[in-house]
Amino acid sequence: MNHSLSPAPTNPALLVLSASRRTDMVSCYPDLLVEKLLAYPPAQVHTVVIWTKNPGNMLAAGRLREALASYAQLYIHLTITGLGASLLEPQIPAWQQVIAMVPEVVALAKDPRRISWRFDPIVRAEAGGVKISNFELFPLLAERMAACGITTCRTSWVEPYRKVLRRTQKKGVRLLIPSLAERCHQGAIFESTAARCGISMHYCAMEGFARSRCIDGELLSRLHPAGAPCSLKKAKGQRAQCGCTESIDLGWYSLKCHNACLYCYAEPLVE
């Protein structure tokens, strides 16, 4: 009789948590984020992906920093558009303040490759006869981010959703939406500038540009300190141009973001 051992059952893939595409939990709901993380013990989690415009709460000593530090890997999408403290991002610190925090963010993530700088979105607008644009700031921000060891930038152009247009018009702001040809021209400028700084450009769900993955299972697996793999399955429920791999998002749109960014598609229509 053949008494050969059956293969041992494989462990289920470690989870990727996302906090959060839907609202800035680090900035606006740090205590709730801690409570959500408690439902996912570190032994079950491959990576916690953080999305924030103001990382201060996760850098300060306290429950959130301790909770995040207990996981094997953090991957941080840090958004710096250059529009902080302006009419378009009234509750976000000025870009100089956020960039000053980048070395601490790198220290928390333990590797600058685990930081993705989001220059997102690119905005041109007009308010009271004054032009507002962050396009021209890109070279300066790229130099400052590169000096911190950041080698990845993700971007997209502001989307003219109906509720966004109504909200901006109510505030006396007219969004100037570029054509695809204008976007491609600007993209070429971004890529040339970024390359000089040692930064690679990626475009988030943008028609006419290569599909990218803000949550990239292959990248997260390569960067994991123990080399552990995570799921490479495509995420469900994302936009057609999105190439992200699957994750569990800990936020929801009902958690109203307090950042009050005027162009945000996740903000409700009535304010």
- C-alpha–C-alpha distance, residues 185 and 45, integer Å: 41
Residue 80, amino acid = I
Torsion sign, CA atoms 31, 35, 36, 42: positive
**107 has a pLDDT exceeding 60:** yes
Residue 251, amino acid = G
Residue 4, pLDDT score:
39
Residue 8, pLDDT score:
34
How does pLDDT run across 126-162, given as a tens digit for each residue?
A: 999 999 999 999 999 999 999 999 999 999 999 999 9
Per-residue pLDDT, averaged over 242-250, amounts to 95
Dmax over Cα atoms in the chain, in whole Å? 88
**114 has a pLDDT exceeding 50:** yes
Residue 269, pLDDT score:
52
Residue 59, amino acid = L
Name all domains of the chain by residue range, CATH numbers in brackets: 15-120+135-157+179-249 (3.20.20)
- C-alpha–C-alpha distance, residues 88 and 90, integer Å: 6
How does pLDDT run across 30-64, given as a tens digit for each residue?
A: 999 999 999 999 999 999 999 999 999 999 999 99
- In angstroms, the Cα distances linking 91 to 27, 73, 198, 260 are 10, 29, 31, 6
| Residue 237's pLDDT band (cuts 50, 70, 90) | confident
**9 has a pLDDT exceeding 60:** no
Other beta carbons less than 10 A from residue 141's beta carbon = 20
Q: What is the mean pLDDT of the chain?
A: 93
Show the tokens assigned to 113.
């490759």
Residue 1, pLDDT score:
38
Dihedrals phi, psi of 168, to nearest 5 degrees: -65, -40
| Residue 265's pLDDT band (cuts 50, 70, 90) | confident
Per-residue pLDDT, averaged over 81-106, amounts to 97
Chain centroid to CA 198: 20
Residue 2, pLDDT score:
41
Residue 13, pLDDT score:
82
How does pLDDT run across 160-209, given as a tens digit for each residue?
A: 999 999 999 999 999 999 999 999 999 999 999 999 999 999 999 898 89
What is the share, in percent, of the chain residues with pLDDT greater than 70?
94
User: Which residues are within 8 A (CB) of 208 and not within 5 positions of it... i.e. 6 or more apart?
Assistant: 180, 183, 184
